[in-house]
Structure 1
Amino acid sequence: MEQTIGASLILSGIIAIIAILIIVKGLVIVQQSESVVMERLGSFNRVLESGVNIIIPFIDKPRPITMTRYKRVEGQFIPQTKEETRIDRRETVMDFPGQPVVTTDNVTVQIDGALYYTIVKPENAVYQVENMSQAVETLAKTSLRSVVGQMELDKLFASRSEVNADIQQAMEEPASKWGIKINRVELQDIQMPEEVENAMRLQMAAERKRRATVTEAEGDKAAAIAQAQGQRESAILNAEGDKESAILRAQGEQESIKLVLEALGDTDKNKETVVGYLLGQTYIKTLPDMAKEGERVFVPYESSALLGSMGMFREMAGNPSDQMAANALKGGVMGGAGAQA
């Protein structure tokens, strides 16, 4: 009897232990942003999401995913491949080594790139491709060569964002079959041959020199325009001054003629005498300028009449009443000359 009870207790203990093991094995806790692909008897069953999940022990098994990652050791990328049962659903950065790419102008450049992707369908990443990370890396390299191979070197440097967008677009359709979403692609570094880099440096120096020459020429042009405008405004002001001076001189002569005629009497003979006197004065003032231009001076026939009129005014200086008229006429002429000065 006691043996029967002992055997029953042992059996109960074994059953309890098995039940506990089944319960422990049947509960799977998945962390946030992780997923587990489960198989039942070798076939796909379901994807375990974050939280507590119940499975059938020894029948349901997780299907591992093969991942290849690079580890930088002493400036070199060393690939490391391993199998993981927990699939990371967060955004992953793939920093693969630099790749040689030939542009359309036959320049070989070394391009280092970074790829940002997210696993959106874990079952496709496990069953549709053998090594998901390696496949994505190979796809990124081939897309990089395809896009950059259609561009010239200058355009490659000038439109990196366009190159990134083209590579991302080329990768989206193939990667979607593997349950991968390509978030973005970045070209980190572009290395050129030394001779090409030197040629580009000389080209940049020549371009800066050209810009400096153009800027200097534009400055000289602006200075010449400003100087010409200043000379033009100065000429206009001088012309306006001469005009006002001539007007004042003419007004002075007109007033002096009126005073003389009032003193002598407003007769035709007196008008002719006054006009002759003024013409004589003008002729005498012009003689020095005529002498500067040549060795000979031509005296017109009418000059005798003009000089006679001036002689008559000298005779008038002896008469007190006529002296006033002569002074008025002389003062009007001198006043006009002063206005001109």
Structure 2
Amino acid sequence: METTYFDGLAYLIGIAAVVLLFWAAVYIFREYERGVMFTLGRFTRVCGPGFVIVIPIVQQVVRTDLRTFVEDVPTQDVISRDNVSVKVNAVIYFRIVDAERAIINVADYRSAVSQLAQTTLRSVLGKHELDEMLAERDKLNADIQEILDRQTDAWGIKVANVEIKHVDIDDSMIRAIAKQAEAERLRRARVINSEGEFQAAAKLVEAGKLLATQPNSMQLRYFNALNDISSERTSTVIFPLPVDLLPAGRKGKSS
């Protein structure tokens, strides 16, 4: 009876060992997952998706995710090329394109990409003026994305996109920018007024030359002016009188 008991116990232990061995040897990878397999510490292959058998103790598998990661770049203090201090934060989109390099060449690829994005953001924005940060954000995004993509290529990572979210400026600088914008609008208004005066003067010169060809046309202009004055309710009437009609004008002309 005692022998039968031990035989049954050994049988149960054997079944449990087989189940545990099977559980440790079987890996199932989803469509967006890959496994980097090592045999006795050496890289063997990239496996998955689907059903994969791994020899326990001899082989180990590290899972990787091929989906796009979204990494929020913390707010960075940046000094622009025109010595303006701003706070900038961004978001970066990247994914693994080579699972072997992402596991073997870098210890923690997510932390490495985040740190690299922070330093690159400060370096690139520091080469531009504040106006460029505010007006040419798409160009800056493309420049940062290109630099990150080139540097992370050795890690088997593809940086798909970089977006600068906020550019925060001090209140004193906001007031200075508002004054600058107001001065720029005044400058444009004065330039437009000057151009209008110049064009009006040119047209008056052309009109004077045209009226000089026909002396009687000036009389018509006088009557036109009187008609405009009479339509207004005013007690003072200014009548334009040609200088030639005055006696002194005639005497000076005759002499």
In structure 2, what is the Cα distance between the partners aligned to 1:202 and 1:291? 57
In structure 1, what is the Cα distance between the partners aligned to 2:247 and 2:85? 84
Of 11-20 and 36-45, the range deviating more from structure 2 = 11-20
Matched, 1:217 2:216: no
The Cα RMSD (Å) is 3.4
- CA gap 1:233/1:40 in 2 versus in 1, 3 angstroms: same
Deviations 1:75-98 (A, max 9, x none): xxxxxxxxxxx4221222211211
Instruction: Compute the displacement of 1:173 (Å).
Output: 3.8
What SS does the aligned partner of 2:152 have? helix
In structure 1, what is the Cα distance between the partners aligned to 2:248 and 2:162? 92
- Paired letter, 2:32: S
- CA gap 1:290/1:37 in 2 versus in 1, 3 angstroms: closer
In structure 2, what is the Cα distance between the partners aligned to 1:237 and 1:87? 93
In structure 2, what is the Cα distance between the partners aligned to 1:230 and 1:290? 28
1:169 paired residue number: 146
In structure 2, what is the Cα distance between the partners aligned to 1:28 and 1:198? 61
In structure 2, what is the Cα distance between the partners aligned to 1:290 and 1:178? 100
**Percent identity of the aligned residues?**
34
More helix by share: 1
Of 162-171 and 95-104, the range deviating more from structure 2 = 162-171
- Please show how residues 8-27 of structure 1 align to structure 2 within 5 Å: 18-27=17-26
Matched, 1:190 2:167: yes
Instruction: Compute the displacement of 1:159 (Å).
Output: 3.0
1:132 paired residue number: 109
What SS does the aligned partner of 1:207 have? helix
Instruction: Compute the displacement of 1:153 (Å).
Output: 2.5
Of 138-147 and 217-226, the range deviating more from structure 2 = 217-226
1:258 paired residue number: none
Instruction: State TM-score, norm by structure 1.
Output: 0.55
CA contact (8 A) 2:74 2:118 kept: no
Deviations 1:73-121 (A, max 9, x none): xxxxxxxxxxxxx422122221121101122332221111111211122
- Paired letter, 1:37: V
In structure 1, what is the Cα distance between the partners aligned to 2:214 and 2:20? 112
Deviations 1:116-156 (A, max 9, x none): 21112223222222222111111111122222222332333
1:156 paired residue number: 133
1:143 paired residue number: 120
In structure 2, what is the Cα distance between the partners aligned to 1:95 and 1:162? 20
2:233 paired residue number: none
Pick aligned residue for 1:205 from 182, 185, 200: 182
- CA gap 1:48/1:292 in 2 versus in 1, 3 angstroms: closer
Deviations 1:299-332 (A, max 9, x none): xxxxxxxxxxxxxxxxxxxxxxxxxxxxxxxxxx
What SS does the aligned partner of 1:99 have? strand
Deviations 1:57-77 (A, max 9, x none): 4543333xxxxxxxxxxxxxx
2:51 paired residue number: 52
In structure 2, what is the Cα distance between the partners aligned to 1:293 and 1:34? 106
Pick aligned residue for 1:233 from 210, 213, 218: 210
- Paired letter, 1:46: R
In structure 2, what is the Cα distance between the partners aligned to 1:90 and 1:227? 72
1:111 paired residue number: 88
In structure 2, what is the Cα distance between the partners aligned to 1:117 and 1:130? 17
1:263 paired residue number: none
In structure 1, stretches of 5+ residues that fail to align are 64-85, 241-288, 298-341
In structure 1, what is the Cα distance between the partners aligned to 2:35 and 2:174? 50
What SS does the aligned partner of 1:189 have? strand
The number of residue pairs the alignment matches comes to 223
- Larger Rg: 1 or 2? 1
In structure 1, what is the Cα distance between the partners aligned to 2:49 and 2:249? 114
- CA gap 1:230/1:293 in 2 versus in 1, 3 angstroms: closer
- Paired letter, 2:90: G
- Paired letter, 2:60: K
What SS does the aligned partner of 1:125 have? helix
Pick aligned residue for 1:122 from 80, 86, 99: 99
- Paired letter, 1:199: A
CA contact (8 A) 2:74 2:89 kept: yes
Matched, 1:101 2:100: no
